[in-house]
Structure 1
Amino acid sequence: MTPHRSPSADRQRKAGLTHKKLLGFVVSAVVTLGSLMWIVSLSSRIVDHQSNDVDARDVSYAPGDPEFDRLSRSEKVEALRREAARIDEDLMWRRSYRLRERRRRNQPGTYEVHESWKREVENLEKQVKAFPNPVPGSIGWDVRERLKELKADPALNSSDRESLRD
C-alpha cells in the first residue's frame, strides 16, 4: 500500500521542484550574482586606476605650453614625436582627400566625357556621309540611329562645356 500524499506535495512533485532543488537554484543564483558583482567592482577599479594615471602619453603637449616645460626630457621627446605623428597623419589625410576629389572630378559627366562624346559624334557624322542613302537594318542606318541618340542626350549634348567642368 502506498502512503497517502497531500495534494500540495503532489503538485510540487509534478512540477519537479523539491526543497533541495529550490535551495540549489537559490544558492547558484546567489553565487552567480556575487561573482558578477565582483567582476564589475574589479573592472571599475581598473578603470579608476587608469583614469587617475594621466601622463605624457595621454596628453598632446607642444612647445610653449606651460605643461610642456614641466615634463622630463624623455617625456618631451615622446610628446614631440606624438605631435609630429599627428601632423603627418593629418597631412596624409589631406593628400588622400585631394586625390579622391581629383578622381571624383574626372568621373563621367565631366569635361573629358564631353570631349569624347564630341569626338564620337564627329566620327559618326563622317560615317553618315559615307552612307548617303541607308536602308533600314544596314550599317549606315545603325550609324544614323546612334548619331540621333547621341545628339538627343541632354546630359552630353551641351554647348556649355564650363558647366560640365564643375
Structure 2
Amino acid sequence: MAEHQNSEVITKGKIDKAINLLKEQKPKEREDVSDREAVRKMRRYIEKLTSDKYGYSYDEVSEMLKGLGINLTGSRIKYLIGELKKSSRRRHQASSNGDSITSVQEATENQQAVVESSEAEEAPVKSTKGKSKKQLKAAQEQEEESEATREPNRSAFVPKIYKDEEI
C-alpha cells in the first residue's frame, strides 16, 4: 500500500473548481482523420471536379491528392462519395418521411383517421417510393390490423345460419 508522497487536502471547493474546469474543456482537434471523413469534407469539391462541366475522373482527383500526401485510389474516392450520397439521402428521407417503422405506422394511422373522418369508402393512397421492405411490411400489417376497426360505427354483416327445422 503505497501512499502518495505529496498528498494535499482536497476540499469541496477544489472539487467544484475542478468539475467546472473539466466541463469547460473543448474536444481536442485531431491531426489524423479517416479516409471517409476526409472525403466527406472534400466531397463538394470532388463532385465539382468530376462533374460533366469539369470532366475530371476520380483517378485524376486521386493523383492531385497524392501530391499532398493523401493516398486514396480513384475507386476508393468514388466508393466513399457514393456512400456519403446514400447516407445523406437516407437522412433526407428520414426527415421528410420519418426514420423508423413507427413513423410509417403513424403516417398510416393519420391516413386512416382522415378516411374515417370523411367516411370515404376507398383506401388511402400509398406511396412505396423510398421505403424499405421492413417499413412496407410493417405498414401493410398495420393496414390489415386496422381494416376491421376502420368503420367502427357500422355493423358488420353476420349471416344467420338456419337449422333444417326452420326452413
TM-score of the superposed pair, with normalisation by structure 1? 0.32
Q: Which protein, 1 or 2, shows the higher relative CO under an 8 Å CA cutoff with sep ≥ 6?
A: 1
Computing the radius of gyration from Cα coordinates, the structure with the larger value is 1
| TM-score, L = length of structure 2 | 0.32
